[in-house]
């Protein structure tokens, strides 16, 4: 095993998990990197570069692609922010359990730099968190062997885990999530996304399935310095005003973000919101602080409204709600009492899922749920009011809002329609 690099640094409080400062509207990023897959899986998957500079003659068009030499990988998540200069960007190809590394040193011209090591016995890498020392934490949804849950035939289907890698993709160490099995009712824990509190030697990890039928709805806290599992917290019911419980609201704890008061706010895929406090103590607490009221006429209570990947800009938490075809902005100035301030509806064919903010403006790129990813839309967030609107200038050649991946020819060749799931802005 390689030597473990130090991970403790107060700088982690200004990390990918934090509330970011308000964006200015006059420093627009020039490029958008989109992690894309060939739709019919006959050709290579690729990273696409979209020109998002309104002053450019190529505005809204794909100006470059980086093939990865692998088809059918199901390009899925990227890191939630670009890595520091000189570091490669991590990206997962879910079906082939691959973690690709992209060199971003040349603006608008990424280069495939290789793939990260495997981390047996863990399988199906999904999410990433950049550590203060430049290393990367990776969440794994499964491990070798059968699922521990009765009746679950998923194989490999064991408890997932987390692993640390160097910036170059070399495996450093791993830890299992299996210690939280009892708190999760015996269901497999599937580490999904992270929030760092390196100032107190902690990392919070949510548990959510992707294509697995069984999952423990829990949140775990690990000691960051040695990846020891310290606490597993069952996610409590999601309650609506008046006391009614949204039966699926607590399911699949999803996207955690660090708040200025050092608590962690997270959404469940079922659209309950939870605040975790006392992470540095032996008795952390999780409580339901908000629930999106999902009309059962639109999304039956037995299903989930699909609250996906959030982005936090200033005091606003912007939430993608795929089941409602909607973005919702919440004022989280007081993380214990989120307040809805605006909604933005997409058309019925677009189910928002992935969000990423432009660090130089008020723009937010909006990717879609799996299966409906043939375009991405651009939203704008008013930094004062929290009002959301669509960027009407960002349109594809057919005149529809957003950038379309329905095309015959790409810079790397005539490979036909693609889909794009995750995206990040590049200045």
pLDDT tens-digit series, residues 190-211: 999 999 999 999 999 999 999 9
Q: Looking at residue 35, what is its pLDDT?
A: 98
Does 60 reside within a domain? yes
Q: Looking at residue 108, what is its pLDDT?
A: 82
3-state helix, strand, coil in the chain (%, to 5): 5, 45, 55
Among candidates 104, 75, 77, 74, which has minimal Cα distance to 89? 104
Name residues whose C-beta falls within 8 Å of residue 253's C-beta, 6 or more positions apart in sequence: 192, 206, 207, 208, 217, 218, 219, 235, 266, 268, 269, 274
Annotate 206-238 with b (16+ C-beta within 10 A) or e (fewer): bbbbbebebbbbbbbbbebeebebbbbbbbeeb
Does 5 reside within a domain? no
Domain CATH code at residue 331: 2.130.10.10
Does 4 reside within a domain? no
Q: What are the tokens at 300?
A: 């039956």
Q: What are the tokens at 352?
A: 């928002």
Q: Looking at residue 301, what is its pLDDT?
A: 63
Which residue range forms the structural domain that includes residue 198?
10-426
Regions of the chain with pLDDT less than 50:
1-25
**Spatial distance between the Cα atoms of 120 and 133, rounded to a whole number of angstroms:** 23
Does 3 reside within a domain? no
Q: Looking at residue 297, what is its pLDDT?
A: 74
Does 142 reside within a domain? yes
**Spatial distance between the Cα atoms of 50 and 425, rounded to a whole number of angstroms:** 9
**Spatial distance between the Cα atoms of 16 and 314, rounded to a whole number of angstroms:** 14
**Spatial distance between the Cα atoms of 246 and 348, rounded to a whole number of angstroms:** 23
**Spatial distance between the Cα atoms of 216 and 149, rounded to a whole number of angstroms:** 10
Q: Looking at residue 16, what is its pLDDT?
A: 39
Among candidates 109, 134, 78, 99, which has minimal Cα distance to 356? 78
* CA 386 and chain centroid, separation: 21
Q: Looking at residue 26, what is its pLDDT?
A: 59
DSSP label at 180? Answer: G
Planar angle of CA 316, 318, 323, nearest 5 degrees: 150
Does 337 reside within a domain? yes
Cis peptide before 35 (omega within 30 of 0): no
Q: Looking at residue 88, what is its pLDDT?
A: 96
Does 211 reside within a domain? yes
Does 1 reside within a domain? no
* Adjacent-strand bridge partners of 219: 206, 233
Number of domains in the chain: 1
Q: Looking at residue 296, what is its pLDDT?
A: 72
């Amino acid at each position: 095993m390689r030597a473990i690099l130090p991970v403790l640094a107060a700088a982690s409080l200004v990390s990918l998990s934090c509330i970011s400062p308000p964006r200015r509207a006059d420093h627009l990023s020039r490029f958008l990197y989109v992690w894309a897959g060939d739709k019919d899986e006959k050709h290579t998957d690729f990273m696409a570069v979209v020109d998002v500079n309104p002053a450019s003659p190529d505005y809204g068009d794909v100006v470059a692609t980086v093939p990865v030499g692998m088809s059918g990988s199901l390009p899925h998540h990227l890191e939630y922010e670009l890595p520091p200069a000189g570091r490669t960007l991590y990206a997962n190809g879910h079906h082939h359990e691959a973690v690709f590394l992209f060199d971003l040193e040349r603006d608008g011209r990424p280069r495939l730099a290789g793939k990260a090591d495997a981390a047996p016995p863990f399988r199906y890498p999904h999410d990433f968190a950049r550590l203060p020392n430049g290393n990367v934490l990776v969440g794994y949804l499964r491990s070798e062997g059968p699922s521990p849950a009765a009746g679950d035939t998923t194989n490999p289907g064991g408890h997932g885990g987390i692993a640390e890698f160097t910036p170059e993709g070399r495996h450093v160490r791993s830890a299992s999530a299996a210690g939280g099995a009892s708190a999760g009712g015996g269901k497999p824990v599937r580490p999904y996304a992270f929030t760092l509190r390196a100032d107190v030697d902690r990392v919070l990890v949510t548990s959510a399935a992707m294509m697995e039928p069984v999952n423990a709805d829990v949140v775990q806290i690990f000691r960051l310095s040695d990846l020891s599992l310290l606490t597993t917290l069952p996610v409590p019911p999601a309650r609506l005003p008046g006391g009614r419980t949204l039966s699926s609201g607590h399911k699949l704890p999803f996207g955690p973000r660090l708040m200025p008061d050092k608590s962690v706010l997270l959404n469940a895929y079922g659209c309950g919101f939870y605040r975790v406090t006392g992470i540095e103590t032996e008795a952390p607490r999780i409580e339901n602080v908000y629930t999106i009221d999902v009309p059962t006429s639109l999304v039956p209570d037995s299903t989930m409204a699909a609250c996906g990947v959030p982005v936090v800009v200033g005091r606003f938490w912007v939430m993608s709600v795929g089941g409602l075809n909607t973005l919702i902005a919440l004022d989280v100035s007081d993380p214990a009492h989120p307040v809805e301030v605006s909604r933005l509806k997409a058309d019925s064919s677009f189910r928002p899922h992935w969000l990423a903010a432009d660090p130089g403006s008020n723009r937010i790129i909006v990717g879609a749920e799996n299966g409906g990813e043939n375009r991405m839309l651009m939203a704008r967030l008013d930094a004062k009011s929290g009002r959301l609107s669509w960027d009407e200038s960002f349109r594809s050649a057919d005149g529809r809002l957003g950038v379309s991946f329905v095309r015959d020819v790409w810079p790397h060749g005539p490979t036909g329609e693609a889909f794009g799931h995750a995206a990040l802005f590049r200045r």
